[in-house]
Structure 1
Amino acid sequence: MTYTIDVLVRAADAGDTYLAWRWLDDVDQPRFEVLTTAAIEPALDALDAALVHRRAGERGTDAAHRALTEGAFADVDRERDLAGLLTDAVLPLGLREGIRSRIASGQRVRVRLTPSPRLARVPWDLLCVDGEDLRLLEVAEVVLEPPATVHAERARLPELWQDVRDRPPLVIIDPVLPTRAGLHGLGHVLDPSEHHRFAERVDDYATAGRMPVADADHVLHCGMDRVELSQALRSPRSRLFYLGHVTSSPDEPGSAAIHLNDTADEWGMATPLRFPGRDGDRLDHDDHRPFAALDLLMGTSSADRETWRRYGFDEARLGHELWPMPQRVAMIACEGGADYRSAETFGLVIAMVNAGAALVTTTRWTLPADRVFRSAIGGFEEQPTTELALRVDHAHESLDPIGELAEWQRGRLREWRARGALADTPLVWAALTHSIAPLKPPAGVDDR
């Protein structure tokens, strides 16, 4: 009988990076390896060069064009070389050997990883287990685990999927933002040519009775703000799907934010995005206030009574009370999983786990929009980023969303190897991450 063996992998940066792992079928034999800065920095620099990563004076669209035309993820051979370079830098031989030996004996492997800030962007699924021919994705399931304290101290425990699966999902696709948000590069993520696929998906939900009429009318380009989000989440939901913008400031994990139709008039802990170059302290109504991880954690604890009443309360409420997260959450947005890039692991993912999510699927780096593919490559007709979003949405309705998405990714890897077409580039599908924090933590979750 085939069964799954878990390996706990934990990383910590302290000058060099220390990577420790322990197999749960051999718990008395923990192992570790020191990844020296000198050894891993060239590989991480090569990864950054392959991503949609702005250089000094460069616009976001220029960075995306460069990634799609010159970067390692634009070419099969260069991507394979990058995967090999990253493997040698961050995946110890002893861990690779342990994976290979268990696969050879007919076991399945699940890698439960808590990365360090330095390793947060590494596409672990693409790393090589056996030379350049076998990727970790092909033989194992890779999930991210928040630190043990997040499991132990969260404010709201998740429900079981079987108990909530018949509830309607809350779907927010490309929400309308206040006027000034566009001056900060926060325009629509979808072009009109991409709307119909999401509209069809919404129609499918409505036809199947999975979505209230009121929701179906406000999924695409809705003007939802944080108060309306609170109202929607406080009705029974199976899951939350958000496709839009996520931003964060370096070294400020609490600043990680999704963007809704919130103006500067809306109370919140994030600094509003103002008219570029404006002096003074005066805020304009059209300035945009992001909905930050700190809001989702702290709620209205430092707000006034008028703000409390807007949410229907006569006193302050914490974030998990105002925005209780359903069992599953998906954020298909730029770097939604920035939590793991901070020394103190906190951001939107951890705030959502604290508020009740058992699974948060998001992306570890910036995705190129479909229109950027078309502008960079003549005659390009596919919609890779739209396809990714729809696959996640479908999978989150299933019994095993992580397994279903992993199987889809394996198919993309096969196509990438066979055709080398940019429609199959790992720059899109390898960005996915899954942070898990179930009601009952898996065995070993409290291990250090």
Structure 2
Amino acid sequence: MVRFEGTPEGADMKETDTPTELLTLLGHSAVAGEIKKAVTRSPGARFYRCAFQVNPFDYSVRHAVATPFQTEEEYNKEMVEACLKAGVDVVAVTDHFRIANSVSLIAAFEAAGIIVFPGFEANSSEGIHLLCLFEPGTSVTDLEQHIGACTVADRKVLSPQSTQTCEALLKLVADLGGLCIAPHVCSASGLLKTLSGQSRARAWKSDYLLAAGLPGPRDQAPDGIKSILLNEDETARRPQPICIVNANDISTPDGFTDDRVTTYVKMTAVSIEGLRQGFMDWESRVRLNSEAIEGEHTEIVAMGWAGGLFDGQSLRLNQGLNVLVGGRGAGKSTMIESLRYTFGLVPKGLEAQRSHNAIIKGVLGAGAKVSVLIRSPSPSPQYYLIERIYGQQPVVRDQAGMIIAVKAQELIGDVDIFGQHEISELTRQPEQLAEILRRFTSPVTDSS
């Protein structure tokens, strides 16, 4: 991580890499230390592209998978390069009830900055496959013990099998601190294909099963199974529909190019708990490759105050931030009004103008400055720093730290900022209310 003068040791996220586009700007002497400090912190949750079923070299050898590689080292090198090229951030290495032969591949991924969920693929007494994932960094010794706890009948066979049922394994892995995904549920060795009747319903409704694997979206599942995936089957209905992920065996570098083998999961930190929360809240935190992820937009990256009441304070903001929550006096209005002041936006209501002026005067005051770092994705990704000293006009700096003749409004686009009570005030003014509502209507529906 790049550390700048004035950035304290022990910043919130030491592992957070400063984007290279920001290095020149943050190294400029005129940039406030508050902004430099803010960008060292975690940006919060983001989508990670995950491949949950990656196999080591030994798996390909045992299962006679066609491969041009003669050695494990060659295989590992090409797998890592293909993973990086595909933009995969997270992998799970899951050979069949084996971990020792996955160690070198895990190490190769980690050396390249790819986060690894170590684990194994279990095979229940009924012949159902389960991907068993554990915390990144879990030792081989612990994983061997976890495999032992599954009471495998014969670990020397091609695909070892546990003496425990699918339901029992789901609970066992959870008790061991891991998480299970039921892969290829509609195919051979899949939960919904292998089981039937009450045994299928019980396993499917298990509190310990949070995700199921398909090669596509749930609405493209085979007839007879689709109703279960859509949570419309009375006998197998869960409290909420299960999370669907795209996961399939990746045993060659080309496998990473297949959209059916990776899934985007939104996490603050890559961990078992991060996955658990993502799978439980899948409607907002999980995206298949066939589903659109919100496109890039201009985002507020960080803001900071120098001088005044908030002297030395700074915030790192998430690219998906859309609401501020906090008790009275937490600083919500100060943040909103500071943004409005920095961007040079004028409140629309008279009461809002008076409130805005009072907050800015009380928080900033003579000589104080507020700085806002933004990122614009088009026409090419670019960072800008907008600064405003109390009583002066906003100043914009480009990535080189140079002042440019551009207004803040030109960078942020058609944006309105409303204070806490401003909407209420504007609802009492029909023309202003119509103007606000017009932003949410199309020319076809807008007849005002």
Q: TM-score, normalised by structure 2?
A: 0.25
Structure of greater relative contact order (alpha carbons < 8 Å, 6+ residues apart) = 1
In proportion to residue count, which structure has more helix? 1
Q: TM-score, normalised by structure 1?
A: 0.25
- Greater Rg over alpha carbons, structure: 2
